[in-house]
Structure 1
Amino acid sequence: MDRLKIIAVDDQPENLQLLVHMLKDDYAVIASTSGETAIELAQRHNDAALILLDVFMPSIDGFEVLSRLKSDPKTSHLPVIFVTGNDNESDYQKGFELGAYDFVLKPISASLLTNRIKHCLASTK
């Protein structure tokens, strides 16, 4: 059986590598270091199970990426879990208003991340 695809997006290569390492045994991880590329990947791989998306990135941030994904009929169904180093209520509120499924704080706990992913996948079937 094919593994579920997860698109992981973080502008910091070391953070992206960590995400890939945590998930590679259970999922087919498609990695991106920019918001623009993430949108292209989501359009190309609209069968992905979900997107892990960094909030703060250069050029376009995670909020703008999410807004564009949700406004595109090809990608609006994809659940997004934000990955962020900011534990900021206004960021949470903005993310949820834009359609984020959840947030995971950095530094990332592998067990917390996998549990959040499993919960997301179970509730968005």
Structure 2
Amino acid sequence: MGQTNPLTRWPVLVVEDEPILRLDALSMVEQAGFEPVEAMSSADAIKLLEERLDIRMVYMDLDMPRSRKGIEIAAAIRKRWPPIEIILTAAYFTRESVDLPERAEFYSKPVDRDEIVGAMRRLMDGVAYSPTSG
């Protein structure tokens, strides 16, 4: 007889335009015990956030030249979806050079996977899972 396990892994939206870096980030999110959700651009990210009311964390690259500035998207996410936790990364920015949205965390690339996974778990600790919350 088969068992059914309810979905209890938090979906984490990964926004990265570079395919290899996106695959690496998706793998990191999955290995951390979260459900990776993929977005290749800021437009994809906004569409997914509008459709998926269960997403409570965004892991996003600020260096996306083919779309709106990453920091603008992060600010828009904070304003429109206040409960969502935001982790930002960049190779060409520093924490001091960007005006981070409230409660957003920043990590320089190349990222330390253990540090990012620890941040994800810390940010989601104690948040009750609800697949329809929004």
1:79 is displaced (CA, Å) by: 1.2
Q: Against the structure 1 CA distance between its residues 105 and 123, is the aligned structure 2 distance closer, same or farther, given a 3 Å change threshold? A: farther
Total equivalences in the alignment = 119
1:121 is displaced (CA, Å) by: 1.2
| SS of 2:123 mapped into structure 1 | helix
Q: Structure 2 counterpart of 1:17, which letter?
A: L
Determine whether 1:87 maps to 2:94: yes
TM-score, length-scaled by structure 1 = 0.84
Determine whether 1:112 maps to 2:121: no
Q: Name the residue aligned to 1:35.
A: 42
Q: Structure 1 counterpart of 2:58, which letter?
A: I
Cα shift readout 1:32-83 (whole Å, capped 9, x = no counterpart): 11011111111211311200011121221211112222332xx232111101
Q: Name the residue aligned to 1:24.
A: 30
Determine whether 1:47 maps to 2:50: no
Q: Which runs of 5+ in 2 are unaligned?
A: 1-5, 129-134
Runs of 4+ residues over 4 Å off in structure 1: none
With 55-64 and 5-14 compared, the bigger mean Cα shift is at 55-64
Q: Name the residue aligned to 2:72.
A: 64
Q: Which runs of 5+ in 1 are unaligned?
A: none
Q: Of 95, 102, 105, which aligns to 1:102?
A: 105
Q: Of 11, 15, 21, which aligns to 2:17?
A: 11
| SS of 2:17 mapped into structure 1 | coil
Question: Which has the larger share of helix?
Answer: 1
Q: CA RMSD in A?
A: 1.8
| SS of 1:63 mapped into structure 2 | helix
Partners of 1:88 and 1:69 lie apart in 2 by: 18
Q: Against the structure 1 CA distance between its residues 23 and 71, is the aligned structure 2 distance closer, same or farther, given a 3 Å change threshold? A: closer
Matched-pair identity in %? 18
